[in-house]
Structure 1
Amino acid sequence: MTAEASLGRLEDDDYPAYTMGRAAAILGTTPGFLRALGEARLITPLRSEGGHRRYSRYQLRIAARARELVDQGTPIEAACRIIILEDQLEEARRINEELRRSTTETRDGTDA
């Protein structure tokens, strides 16, 4: 793999670039917290060839949100559910906006 290809992968939010230890250090938490998020099925880390958990930047953002809620006193199971609902709400808003735009374009005759 070329250096350019490697750099491109590291810029990919979904590329599993972080080991469990590094991810925990970045988040200021423990590996156990990350395992708990996996058990709650909030994030599913990829596994290296050796079977070690690897996390992406996207997964670290989700874990950071979970930590924020837990630090505020929310039980981890509830924090995971809140994050899932927030994600579903954001997706519904995105779909509604697309439909609204499509309807407006059709009504205005710009999509004909």
Structure 2
Amino acid sequence: MTAEDPLGRLDDDDYPAYTMGRAAEILGTTPAFLRAIGEARLITPLRSEGGHRRYSRYQLKIAARARELVGQGTPVEAACRIIILEDQLDEAQRINEELRRPAARSRSKSEA
């Protein structure tokens, strides 16, 4: 697969393949909802040459989580903040785990 191979993009979660209308349809929501979470800076869609918003699969996953929270009665701004904080917590836990691995290996080597 070469960089020019357009089919290679089908597996790319970050490729902005979906129009706003299609993204809203997939999520079962409205374009206004997508604009609202964009204004809240939860996701930033790429723009086509014509200025139209394009969303990636990764962004749709985030938007689906926001839709879930909003569907449970959480205001859009609060839902976006919750998702951002969840993401930051996941990242901090991942980094913490990475930092612990070398320490655990060096302890087991010194005990041997």
TM-score (ref. length: structure 1): 0.91
SS at match of 2:14: coil
> Which amino acid counterpart does residue 92 of structure 1 have in structure 2?
A
- Alignment partner, residue 44 of structure 2: 44
> Which amino acid counterpart does residue 73 of structure 1 have in structure 2?
G
Structure 2 distance, partners of 1:49, 1:10, is: 20
SS at match of 2:37: helix
Count of residues in correspondence between the two structures = 108
SS at match of 2:54: strand
SS at match of 1:105: helix
> Which amino acid counterpart does residue 98 of structure 2 have in structure 1?
E
Say which is worse superposed, 68-77 or 5-14, in terms of deviation. Answer: 5-14
> Which amino acid counterpart does residue 73 of structure 2 have in structure 1?
G
Q: CA deviation at 1:44?
A: 0.1
Identical counterparts, % of pairs: 82
Alpha-carbon RMSD across the aligned residues, in angstroms, is 1.5
SS at match of 1:54: strand
Structure 2 distance, partners of 1:102, 1:22, is: 45
Deviation by residue 1:66-90 (Cα, 9 ceiling, x = unmatched): 0000000000000000000000010
- Alignment partner, residue 25 of structure 1: 25
Structure 1 distance, partners of 2:109, 2:49, is: 54
**Residue 89 (structure 2) pairs with residue 89 (structure 1):** yes
Q: CA deviation at 1:58?
A: 0.3
Q: CA deviation at 1:107?
A: 2.4
Structure 2 distance, partners of 1:109, 1:16, is: 47
Say which is worse superposed, 79-88 or 98-107, in terms of deviation. Answer: 98-107
Question: Which contiguous aligned blocks of 4+ residues in structure 1 show a shift greater than 2 angstroms?
Answer: 106-110
Q: CA deviation at 1:102?
A: 1.5
> Which amino acid counterpart does residue 46 of structure 2 have in structure 1?
L
Q: Give unmatched runs, 5+ long, in structure 2.
A: none
Structure 2 distance, partners of 1:5, 1:95, is: 34
